[in-house]
Chains A and B, each alone.
Chain A
Amino acid sequence: MQRGKDVGQEPIDEFERELRQALERRPAPPGLKRKVMAERGRLRTERIRSRTVIWQRLAASLALAAVVGGGFAWREREEERKGEEARRQVMIALRITGHALNQMKTQLAAHHRANGD
């Protein structure tokens, strides 16, 4: 601090002393601190509330995503299961057909033998 010196680094004169005296800090209005603290409290509550809303929205979004994802996974598994079932049925059908053909072949062979071919 440079009390006793003016801007040009020369000793301060009476005018500057008066100016310094005139520009002493004024007391703040009596309610200023109360208003600041009240507004701070309000803003904090608002911030907490909006943070809660954000978390709630996030949780809801995650739940929705889980439901949708689960639905897709279930559908995929169901399709896989159906595909497996269809393949199994085709294999059974092929086995039955093979069996029938074998039987037919055996009967035809027996028939030819009986006719003396």
Chain B
Amino acid sequence: MAHDWQPDFEQLVDEHQSMVFSLAARMTGDRGLAEEIAQDVFLELDRHLGRMESAAHTCYWLRRVTMSRSADALRRRRVRCMDLWIEIKEAHGASAEEKESPLGARLEQMLATLPEPQRAALVLRYQEDLTPEEIAKTLDAPLATVKSQLQRGLKLLRAKAQSHLKEFVRAKG
């Protein structure tokens, strides 16, 4: 299909590197691996640049490929939730401390302990601000499944927050 949109690769990397890296980092819990995934994703984008129809299509494509590459990487490494939590703690200890809100840092750590499908749905929902429909399209999953993963993930995260972050619970009343 012919389209007029002429993307500039360097500009696309500039524009989307933070999104791609953040998605990969939150899915894998490993900064180094996330950087590798981000590199691979952009190199794949370079190979498929001619097929990109618009800026929105490129953004959707990048999210989709990043999520799929991250899932592949996780499968390859057979990372279990607890390992991931420890890894995140080690790899992101400094950056977590830099965060203004300690609850935010804890939430990110707790998110890493969730099952992969729930984590994927929550990351796309709260990092990328996607609707459940958009998440379903990105993950190639049924809408009902995504909604249920979002609800279950959120519930699990709340439960973890309640047990681990007493001060947050107190603040909520």
CB distance from A112 to the nearest CB of B (A): 100
> A40–B127 contact, CB under 8 A?
no
Residues in B with CB closer than 8 Å to A114 are none
Counting CB contacts under 8 A, is B85 at the interface? no
Residues in A with CB closer than 8 Å to B25 are 26
Counting CB contacts under 8 A, is A113 at the interface? no
In the complex, what distance in Å separates the CA atom of A25 from the CA atom of B34? Answer: 13
> B103–A25 contact, CB under 8 A?
no
Given A7-B132, A16-B126, A25-B127, check contact A36 B13 (CB 8 Å). yes
Residues in B with CB closer than 8 Å to A2 are 129, 131
The count of A-to-B residue pairs whose CB atoms sit within 8 angstroms is 102
Q: Is the interface of B mostly helix, strand, loop or mixed?
A: helix
CB distance from B21 to the nearest CB of A (A): 4
Question: Which single member of B17, B46, B129, B150 contacts A7 (CB below 8 Å)?
Answer: B150
Residues in B with CB closer than 8 Å to A24 are 127
Give 1 or 0 for each of A2-20: 1 = CB within 8 Å of chain B CB: 1100111000001110111
In the complex, which residues 114-173 of chain B have their Cβ closer than 8 Å to any Cβ of chain A?
122-123, 125-127, 129-132, 147, 150-151, 154, 157-158, 161, 168, 171-172
20 A-B Cβ contacts within 8 A?
Answer: A1-B130, A2-B129, A2-B131, A3-B129, A7-B125, A7-B132, A15-B158, A15-B172, A16-B126, A19-B157, A22-B111, A23-B107, A23-B126, A25-B18, A25-B19, A25-B127, A26-B22, A32-B39, A36-B38, A39-B39
- Sorted nearest first, the 7 A-B pairs with minimum C-beta distance are A22-B104, A28-B17, A7-B150, A28-B21, A23-B127, A22-B107, A23-B126
